[in-house]
Structure 1
Amino acid sequence: MIDTGPEIRYRNPPTIPTPAGYSQVVEATGGRTVYVSGQVALDAENRLVGEGDFAAQARQCFENVRRALADAGLGFGHVVKLGLYVTDVAHLATLRAVRDEFVDTARPPASTLVQVAALFRPECLVEVEAIAVGLVSPTNPNPASAPSGEGARS
């Protein structure tokens, strides 16, 4: 039997509000599910990137998610759900612009945005978590060396 990967359907039912930049419903069948923990703007040496700069921090968060996905042999094209946590929702336009550098804007994942009083380090302004669905068996035998390019949706 050939593994054709997951089937992913994106829907925005006409009975609920039409979203801007995300899908109201994402249905995934088959495949394997990968959960990426919340990522803040820390580099591989645990140093903060972009202190006081929301856009730089958001970009580092998404880059960390990209790297975590690559380690599992996946890319942003496999993401079906994002969780976004910000300390100030006034940065929403910036967050959306950065997010759109990474996700497939034609088939955006489901998404939740929450404003929080603080993150685990006071200088962190944003945190991003992801759920992705990919092939049952990763095609890359050494996920840690996965290429940095975006993963195509299956």
Structure 2
Amino acid sequence: MTFWQRNRVIAALTAATVVVEAGRRSGALNTAAHAQVLGRPVGVVPGPVTSPSSAGCHAVIRSGLGVCVTSVDDVVGLLPGRFPEDADEASAREHPNLVRVRDALSVRVDRSTDEVSAASGLSTGRAREVLGELEQLGLVARSADGWRRMRAATGRG
């Protein structure tokens, strides 16, 4: 496996990519570019503006391909399927099902309720209920062909 292939695999396996330090020509930037193409959020930790090893990070932020992260909360905020911590107890209990169903969907291919049910491990009826909740939250969309996960508009999921 080549260096470039490895970067594509890393980008595909992650829920979000965070670049901590990257010069203008960096493998980390290549991984971030692959993540962005795959619809994964990209975060960048800015470094000193005088440091050559931060030049790539600053370029990503300027281009809008990644968002600036300065804390653990910023990184956690990048993760898809994250819901507000102040949700009530009932919502907190349902959180795993919301994540399971959303993760069973694709941003490119419509999936039937039965397919979502099988992929998420939930009954068809429960998957249908959760899909309705996700649709109300604007995280999924329904079409004549099935359900599809919505891409995050700002790089946040």
Q: Which structure's residues are more often strand, by fraction?
A: 1
Q: Which structure's residues are more often helix, by fraction?
A: 2
